[in-house]
Amino acid sequence: MDRERRGGSSRRSKSPRSRQRSGSRSPPPVDKAKPNFGASGLLAAATNTVKAADGSSTVLKYNEPPEARKPTLGWRLYVFKGKEQLELLHIHRQSAYLIGRDRLVADIVLEHPSCSKQHAAIQHRSIQQRDEFGGVKAVIKPFIIDLESTNGTHVNDEQIPTSRFYELKAGDVIKFGLSVREYVLLHDDA
């Protein structure tokens, strides 16, 4: 009893097993009454989801980066199949164009079955570029990014890496998947 009054230990002795255990301890119990403000990913999923009229929804694979800008030049894609021009697409009216087979989300719809539902995106980005005098100025340039498509995206007959921005230049020829259609990129000054 004297020990209990002085704040000493009780009659129970420590178990010898407790000293032999490793430093790992069980996680503290989670108090379910307290709110959890950790990131759940639900908000990002909701903002990346497009709902159709029939109730189905599609999660977008692509989000625009902070440096996205609407272009100042009048960029165009000339669509060819062989030597015949099929259509002219103006791609200067918004900062990004999603390309794929999914008509619900694609800005430029691809018909070929070898193309993915969300195949690629053309993104106009503001980048810093040095001029001939060494000064830095912002320039808006077009880039393409392959969205991990099954059959890839080709620029000038070379496959571009997936999930990375690839700078496009006037006169570039773009192909999607195994389609024979060619998309020739030009602008007003070219």
Tens of pLDDT along 77-133?
A: 999 999 999 999 999 999 999 999 999 899 999 999 999 999 999 999 999 988 888
Based on its alpha-carbon atoms, the radius of gyration of the chain, rounded to whole angstroms, reads 29
**Reported pTM:** 0.73
User: Is pLDDT of 6 > 70?
Assistant: no
Residue 165 banded pLDDT, cuts 50, 70, 90? very high
pLDDT of 22 above 80: no
Q: Where are the domains of the chain?
A: 63-186
Nearest to 184 by CA among 157, 150, 146: 157
Exposed, middle or buried: residue 91 (CB in 10 Å: 0-12, 13-18, 19+)?
buried
Token pair, residue 37, equals 């403000």
Beta-carbon contacts of 2 under 8 Å, excluding residues fewer than 6 positions away, are none
Kindly state the helix (H) or strand (E) to which residue 28 belongs, with its residue range.
Answer: none
In angstroms, the CA 183 to CA 142 distance is: 14
Return the CATH number of 63-186, one of 3.40.50.10540, 3.20.20.70, 2.60.200.20, 2.170.120.12: 2.60.200.20
Per DSSP, what are the bridge partners of residue 73? Answer: none
